[in-house]
Amino acid sequence: MKFFNAKLNSLINVLINYLLKENKQAIGTLDDNDFNEKFSIYKSLCNVRPPNPISNEYLENEKNFFEEFNKVRNIQTIDKIEPIYKNYPSVNTKYKNILSLWQGDITTLEVDAIVNAANSQGLGCFQPSHICIDNLIHTYAGVALRLECNEKMKEIKHLDTGKAFITSGQNLPSKHVIHTVGPIIDNLSSKNELYTDNYGVSKSKMNDLANCYLNSLKLANENNLKTIAFPCISTGLFRFPQELACKIAIESVIKYLDTHENNFERIIFNVYSEKDLEIYDNYIKKYFQTVPEEKITEPMSELDKKIKIIKELLNDCDGILIGGGAGLSIAAGLDEAHLNFEETFKDFIEEYHIKDIYSGGFHHFNTLEEKWGYFSRNCVTYINTKSTQLYENIYKIVKDKEYFVITTNVDGHFEKSGFDTNKIFATQGDFTNLQCSVPCHNKLYESTDLLKEMVKRAKGRFIPTELIPKCPKCGKPMTTHLRVDSAFVMDDYWYQQNDAYTEFINKNKDKKLLLFEFGVGFNTPSIIRFPFERETMKNKNWNLIRFNKDYSGLIISNWDYETLNDWESIKSLELKNNFQERFIPIADDINEVIKKLL
């Protein structure tokens, strides 16, 4: 979280200054450039503040701050949280599509409700140094949550163990918070931990913990909430034994589902520590997994296995490098059929028998008026296309990671879909620029308006002669900035992006980098395909995922471009640094695979 965002910096300054004026005991100096430090100060001031009235202006500023802050946090939507059958294919429960086990920060979950392990006051923890879920939730919900809790507690007076009440989520991604009080356990002897099934915990304490889950689900159901996430209630400062707490949590949820009509679509067991993850993992296998592996009727498909691995790599990687080829834009719908090639270029097809948009760019036309008639129509066709779902979905996958894009595509669809232009290296040019055809100098000229004017004033295949672009320096004809021969201009910006690409490669050599190669064939394999293989082979922490309908695998001979596409066969090879174990070929539809990764 150590970063500088001018808007966030300004907003948090307003919050801190207000809270400091209220809290006369707070002292110290503030590093104006350290957001991390500022947020820590805000957290402390927020946590210790009593539920006294506060100005509407402050609450509005707090709302604005968290709206902006949540844009840079790793917010988890429900579609990113897999139900247990995905990770436990032999799970034997009718609730396999509803239950989930997820490790992470509960305050990042965009669900109908998260459950807060509260105390009997119901106002949050007033000790900033406490590492508890109560502190965390009140921090990211803001002062507004304590004020709402206070109004509720005026009616409740005292929140008994096992009971629960509901509030809005205030500034959290979650719509609501359900607050429940878990049982507190006295220090347990090692003898009890080792030799009793219940770790020395009384029946009443176990019932109290079960009621936390049952009453929270009851409240959620009464409010028609469909998605809810539970933390590991009472296992922190309240010292409830983790293994027993896990057992009670899972069995209580199943009991409620078995005995109540409900509309729950997802119930998430949220764990934070590795130990809790291991405990829940083991108990899920023990409690649900009663079907022998060999009798499972629906084994995980090869594609699902690949997707599972890729998701794990996405969670674990330090950065993502994307290589985009022509196959990506075709998969996105930017092909002849979707661009109405036969209708749009009917006159050129009849006159010159052009077979497709791509080959038309290399055709020899009888006149410059016709050449620019075709080029302008071609360029404007692509310029007018809207952002596509496939590119947008890929951006959703990478946007919260360090990423870079190298592409041979010239249609600008990475930019249209939200990718940072500073993180894109378009090696082959783009449709919007013109250059001298000689070239007499290394400069590009933005030409969108001119190209549209050509299309507007064209008579059939011909544009007006006066619109034929000429170099402002030497007077020779201009041409589109597309790499078709050695005359291609590589201007300062081209070299700048080339350097940025090289820098990204170099700074990630010792990190965990995930490479996505989309639709790169053998027209220009030396730009993306071969370098991606070579660099991944060299760097032991890199993994390469290749999406290609026909050539998803590796070349098996030096004299042709035949590829070995079978995953199991590839894994049986012996390649440098076990590259075969870090390479996944995918010939399936890119659109469907990317949707499954979201």
Q: What is the pLDDT of residue 150?
A: 94
Closest CA to 398 of 320, 293, 511: 320
User: Residue 354: its pLDDT value, please?
Assistant: 84
Structure tokens at 436: 């001298």
Q: How far lies 262's CA from each of 176, 259, 546, in Å?
A: 18, 9, 43
Residue with tokens 């992470």: 104
Question: Phi and psi for 493 in degrees, rounded to 5?
Answer: -65, -35
What is the identity of the amino acid at 400? D
Three-state SS for 94-163 is CCCCCEEEEECCHHHEECCEEEEEECCCCCCCCCCCCCCHHHHHHHHHCHHHHHHHHHHHHHHCCCCCCC
- pTM given for the model: 0.52
pLDDT, tens digit, 9 for 90 and up, residues 425-449: 999 998 889 999 999 999 999 999 9
pLDDT for the residue 471 = 96
Q: In this predicted structure, what is the pLDDT of residue 353?
A: 87
473-513: pLDDT as tens digits:
999 999 989 887 889 999 999 999 999 999 999 999 999 99
Separation CA 345–CA 218 (nearest Å): 63
Q: Which domains does the chain have, with CATH numbers?
A: 1-72 (no CATH), 76-288 (3.40.220.10)
Digit-coded pLDDT (tens) for 86-140: 888 777 788 888 999 999 999 999 999 999 998 888 898 877 766 788 888 999 9
CA 333 to chain CA centroid, nearest Å: 23
Q: How far apart are CA 390 and CA 386, in angstroms?
A: 12
Using CA atoms, how far residue 369 sits from 281, 384, 454, 482, in Å, is 69, 22, 10, 19
pLDDT of 75 reads 92
> What local confidence, expressed as pLDDT, does residue 405 receive?
97
At residue 297, the pLDDT reads 46
Give the pLDDT of residue 199.
67
Sheet of 227-230, strands arranged across: 99-103, 266-271, 227-230, 113-118, 176-181, 164-168
- H/E segment holding residue 514: strand 513-518
Q: What is the pLDDT along the chain (598 residues), one digit of tens a residue?
A: 344 577 888 888 899 889 888 876 655 555 566 677 788 888 888 888 899 999 999 999 999 999 999 988 889 999 889 998 888 877 778 888 899 999 999 999 999 999 999 888 889 887 776 678 888 899 999 999 999 999 999 998 888 999 999 999 999 999 999 999 998 887 543 334 433 455 678 888 889 999 999 999 999 999 999 999 999 998 877 778 888 999 999 999 999 998 888 889 999 999 988 889 999 998 888 888 654 444 444 557 899 999 999 999 999 999 999 999 989 988 988 876 667 888 889 999 888 888 877 777 778 899 999 999 999 998 888 888 888 999 999 999 999 999 999 999 988 899 999 999 999 999 999 888 999 999 999 999 999 999 999 999 999 999 999 999 999 999 999 998 988 788 999 999 999 999 999 999 999 999 999 999 999 988 888 999 999 999 999 999 999 999 999 899 998 765 456 788 899 899 888 899 999 999 999 999 999 999 999 8
Looking up tokens 């899972």 gives 250
